[in-house]
Chains A and B, each alone.
Chain A
């Protein structure tokens, strides 16, 4: 467990007044508050640190304890343990709670650092009997384009809990789905929050997606482009044989209806595949070939 410098988190000197602490906290909280930075896990993490620093430094008693033990906080923990044991022995009927701090509000007490709980204890709950809904969780699921092409199952680990979900074919980059009841547990038996999963779909080196259509560049040699022929191309759905008409121009597009991306939650419906011919000129021509091209050019 590393020592956490709450003063540096708030960007204030050790001599800062209570007013300075309050001001620094407010300034940083406004910048990093999760409600003002939706879908930004970094801001969430930063806000928790700021909040934790404020919980300690913003309370005179906590601050004194923190200032007193500083880097030797491990000794503070031992001291606190010994003090708690003595206190428990003296008051055998006591409930055993060691602090008045309620770190369970807002963005989840479980996320506060071990450092804080080791210093001040985190077992302060139990004063509320009302039931409340748990907080919502946000998660990202990274897929590649080929994964997104088919309906498949994925296992996510959210807060050490494995969740198996079905990802419908055709999901889009940035699309968000809600799994009701998979968020944080409710308070005092209240309903759990929801889990929001944002899909992040990586770009593909071959296929480009635009909505439900797919675009692909396909090379064709000069002779086939000039004289016509056939070409087998790879699609996300397997191989397809295409006819290249004679005198095909560079950049010509061919549309293959229904060979594009599956349409989200519309079974059996697909976008189109556009194949763009890229004519490849021959290189390393022999003298004979060059002569033949000169002859054609002079005709």
Chain B
């Protein structure tokens, strides 16, 4: 992928008023993937919503970058459980009589 199709991490950090080290920490924790092109660091556009979510969690809730992987893990679990609840609710309808 060409750099013009990628998001420059330094531009992203300027826009969101965060340090480059923030993205580096996320990268080290395996939360986002970065790409090095001619000594500049980029992220793929698909990574942007995820990256922005981490920025919001960090800035709005003062969550330390090192702790974001725990939050991310718990959110993933929450999402899985919500899907499971929906599936079970769909099945429960089958066994419970409808209230008229």
Among A26, A29, A105, which residue has the most Cβ atoms of chain B within 10 A?
A105
A256 to chain B, nearest CB (A): 17
A222 to chain B, nearest CB (A): 23
Which residues of chain A have C-beta atoms less than 8 A from B94's C-beta? 208-210, 215
Q: Mark B41-71, 1 if CB is under 8 A from A, else 0.
A: 0000100110011001101111000000001
**Bound Cα distance from A247 to B16, whole angstroms:** 75
Q: Mark A215-231, 1 if CB is under 8 A from B, else 0.
A: 10000000000000000
Q: Is the CB of B87 within 8 A of A174?
A: yes
**Chain B interface size, under 10 / 10 to 19 / 20 to 34 / 35 or more:** 20 to 34
Q: Is the CB of A35 within 8 A of B62?
A: no
B4 to chain A, nearest CB (A): 11
B94 to chain A, nearest CB (A): 5
Among A35, A39, A173, which residue has the most Cβ atoms of chain B within 10 A?
A35
Given contacts A174-B90, A208-B94, A210-B94, contact A132 B82 (CB under 8 A): no
* Interface size counted on chain A using CB atoms at 8 A: 30
**Bound Cα distance from A36 to B72, whole angstroms:** 9
Q: Is the CB of B61 within 8 A of A29?
A: yes
Is A128 interfacial (CB 8 A cutoff)? yes
Q: Is the CB of A205 within 8 A of B62?
A: no
Q: Is the CB of B86 within 8 A of A174?
A: yes
**Bound Cα distance from A191 to B79, whole angstroms:** 26
Which residues of chain A have C-beta atoms less than 8 A from B89's C-beta? 173-174
Q: Is the CB of B75 within 8 A of A191?
A: no
Q: Can you name the residue of chain B whose Cβ is closest to the Cβ of A105?
A: B16
**Bound Cα distance from A193 to B87, whole angstroms:** 28
Q: Mark B65-100, 1 if CB is under 8 A from A, else 0.
A: 000000100010011001100110111011000101
Q: Is the CB of A35 within 8 A of B14?
A: no
Is A30 interfacial (CB 8 A cutoff)? yes
Q: Is the CB of A38 within 8 A of B15?
A: no
Q: Is the CB of A130 within 8 A of B15?
A: yes
Instruction: Mark out the residues of chain A between 176 and 218 whose CB falls within 8 Å of any chain B CB in the assembled complex.
Output: 191, 193, 203-205, 208-210, 215
Is B11 interfacial (CB 8 A cutoff)? yes
**Bound Cα distance from A209 to B87, whole angstroms:** 12
Q: Which residue in B59, B61, B78, B93 is a CB contact (below 8 Å) of A38?
A: B78
Which residues of chain B have C-beta atoms less than 8 A from A130's C-beta? 11-12, 14-15
A208 to chain B, nearest CB (A): 5
Which residues of chain A have C-beta atoms less than 8 A from B52's C-beta? 135
**Bound Cα distance from A83 to B16, whole angstroms:** 32
Is A52 interfacial (CB 8 A cutoff)? no
Is A77 interfacial (CB 8 A cutoff)? no
Q: Is the CB of A35 within 8 A of B87?
A: no
Q: Is the CB of A203 within 8 A of B93?
A: yes
Q: Is the CB of A191 within 8 A of B14?
A: no
B72 to chain A, nearest CB (A): 10
Q: Is the CB of B61 within 8 A of A128?
A: no
A8 to chain B, nearest CB (A): 21
The 3 closest A-B pairs by CB, nearest first: A174-B86, A130-B11, A210-B94
Binding site for B on A (CB under 8 A): 26, 29-30, 33, 35-36, 38-39, 51, 105-107, 128, 130, 132-133, 135-136, 172-174, 191, 193, 203-205, 208-210, 215
Other A-B pairs, 8, CB within 8 Å; known A29-B60, A132-B48: A35-B57, A106-B56, A130-B14, A174-B86, A174-B89, A193-B49, A205-B98, A210-B91
Binding site for A on B (CB under 8 A): 11-12, 14-16, 45, 48-49, 52-53, 56-57, 59-62, 71, 75, 78-79, 82-83, 86-87, 89-91, 93-94, 98, 100
